[in-house]
Amino acid sequence: MSQSIRVHVNGKDRDVSSGLSVTGLLQSFDLDPLLVVVELNREILDREQFPATEIREGDQVELVHFVGGG
Amino acid sequence: MSERSALEGVGDAPLVVGGREFASRLILGTGKYRTNEDMVNALRASGTDMVTVAVRRVDLDRTKEEGILYHLDPDEFFLLPNTAGCYTAEDAIRFTSSSSPTLTTT
């Protein structure tokens, strides 16, 4: 039985399954881990940390990427 | 020494930034192209080694917006992120430091 937890992603509260890793969170948004930068509670994560880093209740997550411009 | 001789060969000297060599001194932007294909073709034709990109929050409710890494290979062009999407100095610093893991891996 999977419970859900509330996290703050890109400025919005969202309910996600508990026990989700960062990789799992990206999959739930259909995002390619190679193309996204993840900041968890104001710390940038190395991509190698994604699978082993668990999302917890109340986490602040920022997902950014690169777009044309500049 | 004349000005001319002082400048001789400058065009062939690689630009070295942070220990990284760039064959071209042309740095191009990636905005306002009609299509992504036009952008890649133009960048390749220019011979540039370095392009600027903007950093944005992923829009999770409108996932159709594609990141530019779908079209640009960071091995082909060094990507220079700008901070135009940041509204505070703190954000700018965080997002700039965030760029290195993405751009130096693969």
Q: How many residues does chain A have?
A: 70
pLDDT higher than threshold 90 for residue B92: no
Q: Which residue of A has its CA nearest to B98?
A: A44
Tokens coding B18: 């942070």
The pLDDT of residue B64 is 58
Question: Does the interface ipTM go beyond 0.95?
Answer: no
Residues in chain A with CB shorter than 8 Å from the CB of B58 are 10, 29, 31, 36, 63-65
Q: What's the predicted TM-score (pTM) here?
A: 0.76
Q: What is the dihedral of CA A43, A65, B56, B50, to 10 degrees?
A: 110
pLDDT higher than threshold 90 for residue A55: yes
The pLDDT of residue A17 is 94
A5-10 average pLDDT score? 96
The model's confidence at residue B82, banded by pLDDT at 50, 70 and 90, is confident
Per residue in B31-75, pLDDT (tens digit) is: 999 999 999 999 999 999 999 998 888 988 876 567 888 899 989
Query: Which of A8, A46, A66 would you mutate first to test chain B, the one with the most B CBs within 10 A?
Result: A66
Is residue B104 classed as helix, strand or coil in its secondary structure? Answer: helix
A60 vs B104 pLDDT, higher one: A60
The model's confidence at residue B104, banded by pLDDT at 50, 70 and 90, is very low
Is residue B53 classed as helix, strand or coil in its secondary structure? Answer: strand
Q: Which residue of B has its CA nearest to A28?
A: B60
The model's confidence at residue B105, banded by pLDDT at 50, 70 and 90, is very low
